[in-house]
Amino acid sequence: MASTPARPRFAIVGAGVAGVLAAIKLREAGFDDIVVYEKADRLGGTWRDNTYPGIACDVPSHLYSYSFAPNPEWSHVFSPGAEIQRYFETVATAYDVDPLICFGEEVRSLRFDGNGWLVETDARRDRADFVIAATGVLHHPRYPDISGLDTFRGPCFHTARWDHDVRLEGARVGVIGTGSSGVQVIGAIANRVGRLVVFQRTAQWVLPAENPPISADDRARFRADVQAMQTLRAELNRGFVENFADAVVDAGSPILQRVEELCRANLEGTVADPDLRERLRPDYRAACKRLVVSPNYYESLCLPHVQVIDDPIASIEPAGVRTAGGDLHELDALVLATGFQIDRFLRPIDVTGTVGMRLDDVWSDGPVAYLSVSMPGFPNLFMLNGPNGPVGNFPLIDVAEMQCDYVLQLIDSALGRNAPVSATQEATDRFEAERIEATKRTIWVSGCRSWYLDHRGIPVAWPWPMARFREVMAAPDLRDYEYAE
């Protein structure tokens, strides 16, 4: 390998939730030659990028925290995005991760040279024995392919690139998209704008969830008793994650029927106008798309100055959005809540593995990785929250923690043999075939369009219960790995 196995060098790509975690865990494991490349000027990943009004995480905050850094100060059950961002910055500082981060350095290429990795940014060339890619899942905004989009004369921006200089008060604002981001934005701005036009392509199931503040008494209790927070976390995990995670991978689950009942009651109980109610009624099963959670979405849509347009968008013009029926909806500002390109992962980094294998070629039909962490032909390159892992309404922090512990064991095995390690082709093919077969039982293929599905209609997610993920992440089966001796 590139350096002496006694002091291997690690390059972590991305200082988001998973990258900061990797740095902490590597340090804890005794490694000290670590660099984190971060293209932006601040850590935080998704929580740095997404600053739109109403942003919060719909996983309870006491669960959406590192297991080793519980936070007694969470203000709400589902705390706002800025507070989550502060949490990650505070943890990074507490664990002295900041000095490891090279801000403003985007990794352009990763090239395996037989021993280790050549890492190139605009500013430098580096070498590393191990690369940990923590580049995120929902990272690259997806801009809709709508004719005339660039002709709109007012401000127009994606939810993940919110323009805080634009005054929305009193303005005529359009929102395209009604996924989790759009729903949160709509709930937050409906009362500020002069007129809101919501362009809905597909109706959503919306699970109602209040977001109460955490009382000062409870925060004091959590401060005094860390164990109380751990107990709460375990309860939330059982009640909130494990049950739902197991349900979405079994389309026949009674839990999904219950979720659908709750969503239906939310619609029936909140939207009095029968025409609007029918236009908001989905024609597919709840949780087929990623389930949207909101305390006030339907209320917002019922306001007199809010209009839901389900006539398909035909084009965008300087003055606004024209729909297929010929109406022009005149707007001052346009928000694109149109989601993310979910197959990017490491890309656009130019990644070359053994014998000149380029990742773009290997992934020409979509990203594939063994257990979401390792790829044949790319030794000592590991991914956190990589392709086809548990995604959706689950805490990706927990997923990344399990993957990190797993990867540390692979690193140990590579160091033990003084040879770079990667999954075998055979294990990767077997895993992918089993995974695709298992997706057929999931709710995601029950008849809807969503970012869970790739261009072939195959879900890009872990299709088994979370317990199975926990089990396989406990220890690598080294028979499924090979070493570039």
Binding site for ligand N01 (CB under 6 A): 57-58, 138, 144, 146, 159, 176-182, 184, 199, 201-202, 290, 313, 337-340, 449, 451
> Please, which residue, 51 or 115, has the CB nearer to ligand N01?
51
The distance of closest approach from Cβ of residue 449 to ligand N01 in the complex, given in angstroms and rounded to an integer, is 5
The distance of closest approach from Cβ of residue 199 to ligand N01 in the complex, given in angstroms and rounded to an integer, is 6
Question: Rounded distance, CA 13 to CA 128, Å?
Answer: 12
> Please, which residue, 136 or 476, has the CB nearer to ligand N01?
136
The distance of closest approach from Cβ of residue 1 to ligand N01 in the complex, given in angstroms and rounded to an integer, is 37
> Please, which residue, 239 or 416, has the CB nearer to ligand N01?
239
> Please, which residue, 156 or 407, has the CB nearer to ligand N01?
156
> Please, which residue, 9 or 290, has the CB nearer to ligand N01?
290
The distance of closest approach from Cβ of residue 211 to ligand N01 in the complex, given in angstroms and rounded to an integer, is 11
> Please, which residue, 121 or 184, has the CB nearer to ligand N01?
184
- Could you tell me the sign of the dihedral formed by the alpha carbons of 185, 186, 191, 193, in that order? positive
> Please, which residue, 146 or 228, has the CB nearer to ligand N01?
146
The secondary structure of the chain, three-state, reads: CCCCCCCCEEEEECCCHHHHHHHHHHHHCCCCEEEEEECCCCCCCHHHHCCCCCCECCCCCCCCCCCCCCCCCCCECCCEHHHHHHHHHHHHHHCCCHHHEEECCCEEEEEECCCCEEEEECCCEEEECEEEECCCCCCEECCCCCCCHHHCCCCEEEHHHCCCCCCCECCEEEEECCCHHHHHHHHHHCCCECEEEEECCCCCCEECCCCCECCHHHHHHHHHCHHHHHHHHHHHHHHHHHHHHHHHCCCCCHHHHHHHHHHHHHHHHHCCCHHHHHHCCCCCCCCCCCCEECCCHHHHHCCCCEEEECCCEEEEECCEEEECCCCEEECCEEEECCCEECCCCCCCCEEECHHHCEHHHHCCCCCCCECCCECCCCCCEEECCCCCCCCCCCCHHHHHHHHHHHHHHHHHHHHHHCCCEEECHHHHHHHHHHHHHHHCCCHHHCCCCCCCECCCCCECCCCCCHHHHHHHHHCCCHHHEEECC
Question: Rounded distance, CA 327 to CA 306, Å?
Answer: 16
The distance of closest approach from Cβ of residue 182 to ligand N01 in the complex, given in angstroms and rounded to an integer, is 5
> Please, which residue, 50 or 403, has the CB nearer to ligand N01?
50
Question: Rounded distance, CA 253 to CA 343, Å?
Answer: 29
The distance of closest approach from Cβ of residue 64 to ligand N01 in the complex, given in angstroms and rounded to an integer, is 9
> Please, which residue, 237 or 338, has the CB nearer to ligand N01?
338
Other Cβ atoms within 10 Å of 24 Cβ, number: 22
The distance of closest approach from Cβ of residue 143 to ligand N01 in the complex, given in angstroms and rounded to an integer, is 9
The distance of closest approach from Cβ of residue 17 to ligand N01 in the complex, given in angstroms and rounded to an integer, is 13
> Please, which residue, 64 or 130, has the CB nearer to ligand N01?
64
Print burial letters for 89-113: b (CB count within 10 Å at least 16), e (below 16): bebbeebebeebbbeebbbeebbbe
Other Cβ atoms within 10 Å of 57 Cβ, number: 20
> Please, which residue, 35 or 137, has the CB nearer to ligand N01?
137
> Please, which residue, 39 or 201, has the CB nearer to ligand N01?
201
The distance of closest approach from Cβ of residue 39 to ligand N01 in the complex, given in angstroms and rounded to an integer, is 20
